[in-house]
Amino acid sequence: MNSIHGGDIYRNKIKYDFSVSINPLKIPKEITDALRESVNLAGCYPDYQQAGLREALSRAHNIPAENILTGNGASELLMAVVHGLAPKRAVIPVPSFFGYRHALDAVRCDVTYVHTYEDDLFIPGHDFSDKIINGTDLCIIANPGNPSGRLLDKKYILSLADKCREAGGYLLVDECFMELSDRDESVVGAPYKYDNLFILKAFTKSYGLPGVRLGYLLTGNGALADRIGRHLPEWNVSVFGERAGIECLKHPEFPKEAVRVITIEKKYIKQELAKYDIKVFDSDCNFFLINTEIPLYDMLLEKGILIRDCSNFEGLGRGFYRIAVRCHDENEVLIKAIGECFEK
């Protein structure tokens, strides 16, 4: 196992990072200006209520501000949810994001891993929903899936919310890649009908700001939001994060423009990878899951290119990798390097 997450540019000499799947476009000047201007507030405590950001999110999603929590990235909010709910039994599909297991292990939760399979493109179905039974306290699922990149129909997601409610539990839907996907299957409009539903989102992917660390959680249950919020530290969102988030919400066209670029580049990458002994799984968002027999991670690392080694994803193993879709000139570098790996 090389890393539990992508983006480890600090222990490697990296020229191109394809291990993190974020908006490939240049961040709008107005957002970088907001970050620079925030330096003037570095000597002040941030607003511990994040009122400006939560009001902006309230307007963007038509959800009361008291039903929104903001955090130092989606990972902090995920940890707050599991500590706030203290589930005894949880269900998650695998392969899926390592952070779910990490958070559930922190509260010593008994986790049922429901395997999805390569022949089904790692898409969960009835086998997964059937595991949500009485006594299931929490179900976590990503839409689109990570590392599969496949979108699930919102009707299926809401059927899971129904199953969780019948079981007396909660459903957490990770939509951090939704804004960079081929179509909108978000269930953001559903919390009013489901008081057991959490929706996790982040500016990390859609606005290309992983270093700022800014995520948010939506729920239709204000009392539940308050309960979860008690497990977040004070001042958990910096002045940089809040100002950047407010400015990002003024540019909803930015992720949409990225999707247009990603759609074109996905066709190019898939076409080029077909020339080599690589299995490329269809994707509905801004990354591909691939499988190959050659040690591609190590070979590309020697060239200063970082991809995501997926061997630590439950349900996968050696030979599975995830590659981000970047802008064309960077994608050309990746394709050329992969070709050299196969020639070698």
**236-281 pLDDT per residue, tens:** 999 999 999 999 999 999 999 999 999 999 999 999 999 999 999 9
Q: pLDDT digits over 108-151, tens only?
A: 999 999 999 999 999 999 999 999 999 999 999 999 999 999 99
Range of 310's domain? 16-26+253-343
Asked if residue 8 belongs to a domain, the reply is no
| pLDDT tier, 2 (very low <50, low <70, confident <90, very high otherwise) | very low
Q: Which residue has the tokens 């996907």?
A: 181
- Kindly state whether residues 263 and 229 are assigned to the same domain: no
pTM above 0.85, yes or no: yes
What pLDDT sits at residue 1?
Answer: 39
* pLDDT above 70 coverage of the chain, percent: 97
Q: State the average pLDDT over residues 54-63.
A: 96
Asked if residue 10 belongs to a domain, the reply is no
CATH code, domain carrying 166: 3.40.640.10
Q: What are phi and psi of 258, to 5 degrees?
A: -60, -40
Asked if residue 157 belongs to a domain, the reply is yes
Burial class (CB in 10 A: 0-12, 13-18, 19+), 53: buried
Q: Please list the residues that pair with 140 across neighbouring strands.
A: 172
Asked if residue 63 belongs to a domain, the reply is yes
The domain boundary, picked from 226, 248, 270, lies at: 248
Asked if residue 240 belongs to a domain, the reply is yes
* pLDDT above 90 coverage of the chain, percent: 91
Q: pLDDT digits over 208-234, tens only?
A: 999 999 999 999 889 999 999 999 999
- Kindly state whether residues 177 and 285 are assigned to the same domain: no
